[in-house]
Structure 1
Amino acid sequence: MDDFLAARSQMALSLGFHIIYACIGMVMPFFMAVAHYRWLKTGDAAYKNVAKAWSKGVAIFFATGAVSGTILSFELGLLWPKFMEHAGPIFGMPFSLEGTAFFIEAIALGFFLYGWDKFNPYFHWFTGVVVGISGLASGILVVAANSWMNSPAGFDYVNGQYTNIHPMKAMFNNAWFPEALHMTLAAFASTGFAVAGVHALMIVRKRNIHFHTQAFKIAAGFAAVAALLQPLAGDIAAKSVAKRQPAKLAAMEAYFHTQPYSPLVIGGIPDEKLKKVNYGLEIPGLLSFLVYDNFHEQVMGLDQIPEKDQPPVAVTHYAFQIMVGLGMFMMLIGVLYLVAVWFKKHWLESNWLMKLFIAAIPAGFIALEAGWVVTEVGRQPWIIQGVMRTKDAVTPMPGIAYSFYLFTAIYISLSVVVIFLLYRQIRMVPQLYDKKPEQLTLSHN
């Protein structure tokens, strides 16, 4: 493995693990706060127990997210020094603000974890809300930095020099809102389906029914709403990509030849040598409609982009298809769940609905990883779109392959520890939580 490939692989590995930890850490505090609020309003101690159980999960993922995020910060400087030398002064602001949000989140989490029966109940609940808001802000600020790489702004690039730097314009670049919206909904959908699926599994196994039912309802509600909103966010993001990164869009769709009534390809195996897609289903005009809101305007294909500026088509296309396919699967489950809540309440007691949520446990995270593959691989060969190539930003330091092997072992070990802690947490749910609802009701004094 050469050093360039090793550096890219190490960043991919680090981001692949961190994005899971970060998304769970962003979203779980909101679940926790909702459960806590319902306990305050209803007095049902099951909600308090859910909030307490989830807060332990939040603490686990806060710690692992902090560790993996710190590693990423060092990797940016060590593996991509040329990138940081030029880009750091421009998009450093969102990283600085992210650090502030992180400290607020850490303080608020400490208050929440150790504030039970010590603070005013509503102030204690508010600290949990602050954990969620600050965590979400951290994620959005990091996405702002990534969106700048896809849509660089806030500077003039003249004779190889970066001048007239405007950090605010760089942070709120034209790709920021579409990416932040899409990423936020993806975090809620993926985490919501995973958490709801775990509680659905416990319900099917008839363990601590009341506790897991209340937890399931909260997580499933967030998941269903996020899954239904995600296609709208995806449409906004895709239109942004079509405008600012036409090569990425063409690779996502494996769209080799520019033509009117541009077809949308569903599935298929791209043949990059023969410039065609085998076994795919083409729907004429649909790509034109999705990009330009009409069926006849032609979308730029790969044939209008120099080969040296084209991303890997097959990887980008497969990842995009996986993301969309799993997104549609989760949206279907979301529709069924909302129909059950509003019109078919007896479905909520059926095993088939619970088993759908169980099947969806990994779906959101696989879609999340696939989406980041689209974002990062689809931007290649650029590390800063149209400005700096990835190969020009890598460190000249030799021996990166050994670092990649070492960090692979670290991340796998960290994940094993996280899985063990979560498994133990689920197994340790006290049987007390399975008492009848009337036994779990607390009076407000």
Structure 2
Amino acid sequence: MDDLLAARLQMAVSLGWHIVFACIGMTMPILMAYSEWKWLRTKEQVYIDLAKAWSKGVAIFFAVGAVSGTVLSFELGLLFPGFMEHAGPIIGMPFSWEGTAFFVEAIALGVFLYGWNRLNKWVHWLSGVVVGISGVMSGIFVISANAWMNSPAGFTWEDGKPTNIDPVAAMFNDAWFTQALHMTLAAFVATAFAVAGVHAYLLLKDRNNAFHKTAVRIALAFGAVAAFLQPISGDISAKDIAERQPAKLAALEALYHTSQPADLVIGGIPNDQEERVDYAIHVPGFLSFLAHGDFDAEVIGLDQFPKDERPPVLITHIAFQIMVGIGFLLAFAGFLYLLFSARFKHLLAKRWWLWFIALLTPLGFIAVEAGWTVTEVGRQPWIIHGVMKTKDAVSPMPGLQYSFYMITLVYLVLTLIIIGLMRRQIATIETYYPSARTKPE
């Protein structure tokens, strides 16, 4: 394994592991605060029980996410020093703001966790709101830095060095809004459906459990709205990528040849040697419409780029298909939930419906992982799009594969520990929360 591959794989493992906790950190505090707000309005025991139970999960995931996020920041400097040498002064602002948001979140979470029965109820709830807002903002600031890598701005590149640096222009680059919108919605979709799925599975074992019934209802309400909005943000992102990164769009759609109009490719296996897609379904003109809003528009293909500047097509295309497929499935599940809630409430208690929601548990996070694969692999061979190639930024230090092996092992062990902690947390629900007991003591 060469050093470039080892460095990229280590970043992929670290980012892929951390992003799950980032999504949870952006979403769960909102669910937690909403549940406490419902308790303040209704005084129903189930809502305060949910807020307390979810807050313990938030604490666990926050601690782990803080550690893995710190590891990522160090890895950027250790694995890709060429990148940080030039990028640090340009995109330092979103990272500093992310650090500020993180500390605000940590303080507010401490107040929330230890403020039960010590603070005014509305003040306590407000601390939970601050946790939620700062969690979302923390994610947005990091996404801004990643967006800069896809749409570099705020500097002039002269003689291999950046000059005329404008950190504000770099932070609010052309890609930050579309990426922030798409990722924030993805975080809510993934986390909300995962929460709903876990509680739906537990509800299958105890069909009259008010705790799990309410949890499923709250989580699906948030997840359904986010899943409905996600295809809209995806369309905005596609049109943006078509203008800024046509090579990425061509790779994710496996469009080898510039076409007017261009077909939308569903499924299929890209064949780089023959430059075609095997076993795919073609929808005439639809890619032209998605990219440019015109069924007859020209879409640039990979043939317009040198072969050494083309993204890996197979990985990018398959990841994109997975992301889109899961996205539409979850949007369909959200539509069914809203329909059933409005007209057919009795169906929400059916075993087939609970099994359906339970089986969706991991899909949102799989879609998030696939989406980040599209974002990162689809940008290759560039670490800063059009400015610096990844191979020119990697550390000259030999033996990077050993670092990759070690970090992978550490994350595997941490995964097992977290699974154990969450299983224990779920097992004690009935002990600590009255509304989780079907029969009163």
Q: Tell me what 1:323 maps to.
A: 323
How far apart are residue 434 of structure 1 and its match?
3.6
Aligned-partner Cα distance in 1 for 2:70–2:406: 16
Counting only pairs closer than 5 Å after superposition, residues 60-209 of structure 1 correspond to structure 2 as 60-206=60-206, 209=209
Residue 157 of structure 2: SS of its match in structure 1? Answer: strand
Q: Tell me what 1:25 maps to.
A: 25
Aligned-partner Cα distance in 1 for 2:21–2:416: 13
Instruction: Indicate yes or no: 2:400 matched with 1:400.
Output: yes
2:249 alignment partner AA: L
Instruction: Indicate yes or no: 2:46 matched with 1:42.
Output: no
Aligned-partner Cα distance in 2 for 1:375–1:167: 23
2:146 alignment partner AA: N
Q: Tell me what 1:237 maps to.
A: 237
Aligned-partner Cα distance in 1 for 2:283–2:335: 25
2:355 alignment partner AA: K
Where structure 2 has 5 or more consecutive residues not aligned to the other structure, the ranges are none
Q: Tell me what 1:430 maps to.
A: 430
2:404 alignment partner AA: F
How far apart are residue 144 of structure 1 and its match?
0.1
Q: Tell me what 2:3 maps to.
A: 3
How far apart are residue 216 of structure 1 and its match?
1.1
Aligned-partner Cα distance in 2 for 1:26–1:173: 22
Q: Tell me what 2:247 maps to.
A: 247
C-alpha contact 1:263 1:283 (8 A) present in aligned 2: yes
Aligned-partner Cα distance in 1 for 2:120–2:435: 24
How far apart are residue 433 of structure 1 and its match?
2.4
C-alpha contact 2:209 2:438 (8 A) present in aligned 1: no
Q: 1:365 to 1:118 in 2, by over 3 A?
A: same
Q: Tell me what 1:279 maps to.
A: 279
How far apart are residue 161 of structure 1 and its match?
2.0
How far apart are residue 300 of structure 1 and its match?
0.2
Residue 93 of structure 1: SS of its match in structure 2? Answer: helix
Aligned-partner Cα distance in 1 for 2:282–2:221: 35
C-alpha contact 1:262 1:285 (8 A) present in aligned 2: yes
How far apart are residue 204 of structure 1 and its match?
1.1
C-alpha contact 1:23 1:187 (8 A) present in aligned 2: yes
Residue by residue over 1:195-235, the C-alpha shift from the partner in whole angstroms, topping out at 9 and shown as x without a partner, is 00000011111167101111111111111111110000000
How far apart are residue 346 of structure 1 and its match?
1.2
1:285 alignment partner AA: G
Aligned-partner Cα distance in 1 for 2:220–2:414: 28
Instruction: Indicate yes or no: 2:356 matched with 1:356.
Output: yes
C-alpha contact 1:202 1:208 (8 A) present in aligned 2: no
| TM-score, normalisation: structure 1 | 0.97
Residue 26 of structure 1: SS of its match in structure 2? Answer: helix
Counting only pairs closer than 5 Å after superposition, residues 259-338 of structure 1 correspond to structure 2 as 259-338=259-338
Q: 1:305 to 1:410 in 2, by over 3 A?
A: same
Residue by residue over 1:345-396, the C-alpha shift from the partner in whole angstroms, topping out at 9 and shown as x without a partner, is 1111212221111111010000000000000000000000000000000000
1:236 alignment partner AA: I
Aligned-partner Cα distance in 2 for 1:259–1:412: 45
Aligned-partner Cα distance in 1 for 2:378–2:291: 17
Identity percentage of aligned residues = 59
2:45 alignment partner AA: A
State which drifts further: 384-393 or 341-350. Answer: 341-350
Residue by residue over 1:23-53, the C-alpha shift from the partner in whole angstroms, topping out at 9 and shown as x without a partner, is 1111100000011111111111111111000
C-alpha contact 2:430 2:437 (8 A) present in aligned 1: no
Residue by residue over 1:69-113, the C-alpha shift from the partner in whole angstroms, topping out at 9 and shown as x without a partner, is 000011011111010000000000000000000000000000000
How far apart are residue 4 of structure 1 and its match?
1.0
How far apart are residue 121 of structure 1 and its match?
0.2
Q: Kindly tell me the number of residue pairs found equivalent between the two proteins.
A: 439
How far apart are residue 298 of structure 1 and its match?
1.1
Aligned-partner Cα distance in 2 for 1:289–1:316: 21
2:116 alignment partner AA: W
Q: Tell me what 1:443 maps to.
A: none
Aligned-partner Cα distance in 2 for 1:194–1:277: 33
C-alpha contact 1:208 1:433 (8 A) present in aligned 2: no
C-alpha contact 1:198 1:358 (8 A) present in aligned 2: yes
How far apart are residue 341 of structure 1 and its match?
1.1
C-alpha contact 1:266 1:321 (8 A) present in aligned 2: yes
C-alpha contact 2:258 2:301 (8 A) present in aligned 1: yes
State which drifts further: 81-90 or 340-349. Answer: 340-349
C-alpha contact 1:207 1:434 (8 A) present in aligned 2: no
Q: Tell me what 1:12 maps to.
A: 12
C-alpha contact 1:197 1:360 (8 A) present in aligned 2: yes
Q: 1:435 to 1:3 in 2, by over 3 A?
A: closer
1:217 alignment partner AA: R
Please give the root-mean-square deviation of Cα atoms over the aligned residues, in Å: 1.2
2:190 alignment partner AA: S
Aligned-partner Cα distance in 2 for 1:370–1:240: 19
How far apart are residue 435 of structure 1 and its match?
4.6
2:262 alignment partner AA: S
Residue by residue over 1:159-203, the C-alpha shift from the partner in whole angstroms, topping out at 9 and shown as x without a partner, is 222111110100000000000000000000000000000000111
Aligned-partner Cα distance in 2 for 1:259–1:70: 44
